[in-house]
Amino acid sequence: MSETTNNTNNNQNLALDDGRRVKVLSPGMMVFKRFIRNRLAIAGICILAFMFAFSFLGGIISPYRQDQVFYKYDYANKEYAGAVVNTEFRYLTRDGKELPATTRAKFTLAAKNGDPSFEAGGTTYSVVKVDEGFFRIGTSQQLGNVTALGKIVDVKPIGGATISDELKKEAIAAVQGGKNTFELDGVSYTLTAGKAKSYTLAGSEDIALASMLSFDAYSAEYAELVNNFDFRLLSETAMHAGETSFELDGVTYTLDIESETTATISVGEGDAKTPVANVSNVIVNPVNNGVFLPMDYKAAVTDAIAAHESSFEYVNAEGVTEKHTIQISVNNYVIYTEQKTMLIDMYAAPSGAHWLGTDDHGMDVMTRLMYGGRISLLMGFVVVFLELLIGIVIGGVSGYFGGWVDTLLMRFVDLFNSIPYYPMMIIAGALMDAFEVNPYTRIFMLMGIMGIMGWTGIARTVRGQILSLREQDFMVATEATGIRISRRIFRHLVPNVMPLLIVQATMSLGGIILTEATLSFLGLGIKYPLASWGTIINSASNIYVMSNFWFIWIPAGVLIVLTVLGFNFVGDGLRDAFDPKMKR
Amino acid sequence: MWKFIVRRISLALVIILCGSFIIYGVMRCMPTSFVEGLARQRAAASATTGGASYEEWLEKLNEAYHMNDDVFTGFANWLGNVLKGDFGESWKYGMSVTEKFNDVIWYSVVLNVVTLILQVAICIPLGIQAARHQYSGFDYGITVFAMLCISLPTFFLATVLKYVFAVKLGWFDLYGIVGRYYEQLDGWGKAMDMLKHMVLPTLTLTMLNIGGLTRYTRTNMLEVLNADYIRTARAKGLSEKVVINRHAFRNTLIPLVSYMSYLVPSLFSGSMITETLYQIPGIGYIAYDAMVAGDLPFTMFYSVFGLVLTQISLMLADIMYAVVDPRVRVN
């Protein structure tokens, strides 16, 4: 009792049994002194203080929200462009002329069969095959009849057509020379032999070109030129003929033929040589709208495809060399390149911005640990409070009254105690899942269920203590003074059980945190977007996460262990402090 | 005395009956029952051939599985069959419940027995040493270690062990009871393979259980060491070895044996979380799967089995107390 002696500041000599010399501590103070002398209990208090600060203050200090998702920019190999080897005819019509779709279909048929002419929409078209995959389509028009009698050749126009003298001369020359076709001013004329030395003269003007190749202008200034009918006609004819230059409107264009299907058309000589157009049978298009593919890029693609390469390098407008890879499927080529993309920052390693990295949802692990701690700790306290409430009432009533009330209530406790815990929780979790309980409501329901499943131990303790306490003299006194029964139980009996209850409650706090973590780990407890320490570790049930991202699950586990350890240390210390005889 | 035992047994029976009824009722409340799942599956399978729809299947299956009866009739039927010794056929595993139980229980028993032996072999020496050197650094170390083991969550310990021994060191497999090449092994190899897969679960369970027994041993040993007869033994001039081993330890054995006798029934109950984490096909894991699938007969069997085990251990404890303390018998 007289552990503390105080003899400083005293000049008088005090006798050993002087009342002033002995300082008697109150029972509460004694408990406190014994408690703080226990090193483990102090360690436990420190751990718990840290946990509370971490969870409740940490959540305020943390710059992030618990469900804030982080994004990052990263380079991902994505589809950039598509290329197709052209197997369809592409048409270019002369200005002011038209080639309707039905006519195009008829032409395709004629080209396939090798017919020199076909009819569509009441008009006869002539087909001139320049080379494989390049046709000139013209409209033929009967101009007149040519009759030849000996050396006299007469040309008569039909249907109001006008035949110029020049044409007449040429036609006569052709008949005399035995030719079937001749050309004049870019229009070709045919002579079809009729009966007995008479011919039908038909003029055919090219109105369209059908080609398998596509022409792309290198720059906007040449766009018009490239779509010019004559330019196309001349360049492609030259290309098919294997010539390296052609002339149009007094300008000489040179052709660099790379293969049968690819060529570059340029103007000028030497250093002044500028590319005008690229010719290819490959059509290159961007995958995404709004992306402009520069001509030299397209040329690089077509070259790579022509050379059967699977990747090529391209120097972009900023002068950066990009690596592009080509994947082939039948006639389609897909070109991939590394592009800057916005991604959810998943499994980011610990860094200055995220001290413990980010989890599988791209959320900050540290922040989630803080908010998770709030839930885990709150859960522990609320559940213990519920358990105490139910346990004290039932245990108190049972212990005070005894007899059949006691038997009935204790059998009820036995029954409750024997219900297997985890099967019950699994079923409860499945029920909450099925009714799609809101995550916030779910926490309260979980607290309720855990409280209801766990009060029996406290009820037993209370009953056991009250059974012996109620026989003591102070209870006879309460009875004699006529205090009502509820007051006798809860004001006079229960406070005497309190030390024991405090110890038991502290110890079971740790147990509840463990149980809640286990339930959350099994997916029965707290649900996304809320977190508890158990749910955070749950991500480690994925082997990939477990083996590669220790920073997601190990801190949560350490926090659980430390918290439970803290509660156990404190509980142990309290027990020793309350009852020194029982000391460990 | 006999009157007391009879009363205690009849009470246990009532509790088992009520407990199994509660489990039955709750299982029947399960939102997505096994039957609904099966009906959905069957309906999807027969949809292409123009078979019965989900509703038709559900009706037929409900009939076949006796799910149309109300809870009371269903429970009465189940109880009637159980009294005849028939626990029915497991829905999930498609075999007799008792047969399945017989297949899997031995994994759990082996796991628990090995754990118990290890636990005793580790805890008792540790507890005794800690008590002998009370308040020494060693004692504090043991206390903290025991507390740490009590505070470890099963799943975290299991995950850490897996991470260290299976992922990092590669000594053991992550899951399962047999390895990849089990079928090609001879009899001895098969046994060794299974043993190897039992190492991590055993380690987990042992570590989880070590704390309680160590502290219990230490407390009891301390009590004995402070007793007068130990002082007498020392005063006689006996060697410290004899004092500890012959006088103190033997007296500690009494509470220890009674503590462990309560553990015996739990050897059969399996350990749901550990077995599930390591996918050891013991009773705990199999029952967990059955429960999640809504397998009513198996869950009922497992729950009743658990109830009976708990009641037996409680009954044993009560009867032991009654034997020791005559006052209990009177009440």
Minimal C-alpha gap between A12 and chain B (Å): 39
Could you report the per-residue pLDDT of A526-560, keeping only the tens digit for each? 887 788 888 888 888 888 888 888 888 899 999 99
Minimal C-alpha gap between B306 and chain A (Å): 7
Contact B218 A423 (CB under 8 A): no
Could you report the per-residue pLDDT of A297-330, keeping only the tens digit for each? 777 887 787 777 788 888 777 777 777 888 877 7
A40 CB near a chain B CB, below 8 Å? Answer: yes
pLDDT, position A7: 45
Q: Which of A42, A414, A533 to mutate against chain B (most B CBs within 10 Å)?
A: A414
Superfamily of domain A27-59+372-578: MetI-like (1.10.3720.10)
- Least confidently predicted of A37-51, A185-199, A467-481: A185-199
CATH 1.10.3720.10 maps onto chain A at 27-59+372-578
- Of the ranges A11-15, A315-319, A432-436, the best mean pLDDT one: A432-436
DSSP per-residue codes, A230-265: HHHHHHHHHHHHT-SEEEETTEEEEEEE-SSS-EEE
- From the CB of residue A264, how many other CB atoms can be counted at a distance below 10 Å? 18
Residues of A in contact with B150 (CB under 8 A): 510, 564, 568
Which of B155, B156, B307 minimises the CB distance to A418?
Answer: B307
pTM strictly above 0.80: no
Residues of A in contact with B296 (CB under 8 A): none
CA distance A242 to A256: 10
Is A387 within 8 Å of A508 (Cβ atoms)? yes
A408 CB near a chain B CB, below 8 Å? Answer: no
A549 CB near a chain B CB, below 8 Å? Answer: no
Q: Is the dihedral of CA A269, A273, A276, A282 positive or negative?
A: positive
Rounded to an integer, the average pLDDT of A432-452 is: 87
- Of the ranges A245-249, A580-584, B316-320, the best mean pLDDT one: A245-249
Is A533 within 8 Å of A552 (Cβ atoms)? no
CA distance B175 to B183: 17
Which of A417, A537, A569 minimises the CB distance to B159?
Answer: A537
Contact A431 B311 (CB under 8 A): no
CATH topology of domain B105-324: MetI-like fold (1.10.3720)
pLDDT, position A584: 41
CA distance A84 to A516: 59
The sheet with strand A214-217 has its strands ordered as: A214-217, A274-280, A263-267, A251-257, A245-248
Q: With 90 as the cut, is the pLDDT of residue A339 above it?
A: no
Residues of B in contact with A431 (CB under 8 A): 29-31
Q: Which residues of chain B have pLDDT under 50?
A: none
pLDDT, position B273: 86
Q: Which of B17, B147, B221 to mutate against chain A (most A CBs within 10 Å)?
A: B147
pLDDT, position A23: 67
A434 CB near a chain B CB, below 8 Å? Answer: yes
Which residue is closest to B148 within chain A, CA to CA?
A: A565
DSSP per-residue codes, A513-563: HHHHHHHHHTTSSS-TTS--HHHHHHGGGSHHHHHH-HHHHHHHHHHHHHH
Q: What is the largest CA-CA distance in chain B?
A: 94
Sequence-separated (6 or more) residues with CB below 8 Å from residue B174: A543, B162, B166, B167
- Which pLDDT band, with edges at 50, 70 and 90, does A122 fall under? confident
- Of the ranges A172-181, A468-477, B264-273, the best mean pLDDT one: A468-477
- What SS3 state is found at B24? helix
Rounded to an integer, the average pLDDT of A55-64 is: 85
- Least confidently predicted of A145-149, A477-481, B144-148: A145-149
pLDDT, position A1: 39
Could you report the per-residue pLDDT of A150-173, keeping only the tens digit for each? 667 777 777 666 677 777 777 777
Angle between helices A439-454 and A365-401 (to 10 degrees): 40
Output the CA–CA distances (angstroms, integers) from residue B291 to A429, A436, B216, B265, in the order listed. Answer: 12, 20, 35, 22
- From the CB of residue A287, how many other CB atoms can be counted at a distance below 10 Å? 13
Look at residues A553, A461, A445 and name the one whose alpha carbon lies nearest to residue A507. Answer: A461
CA distance B190 to B184: 9
Could you report the per-residue pLDDT of A372-415, keeping only the tens digit for each? 899 889 999 999 999 999 999 999 999 888 888 988 898 888 88
Look at residues B154, B162, B145, B262 and name the one whose alpha carbon lies nearest to residue B210. Answer: B145
Instruction: Name the average pLDDT for chain A.
Output: 81
Cα-flanking dihedrals φ and ψ of residue A81, to 5°? -145, 160
Q: Is the dihedral of CA A150, A151, A156, A157 positive or negative?
A: positive
- Which pLDDT band, with edges at 50, 70 and 90, does A53 fall under? very high
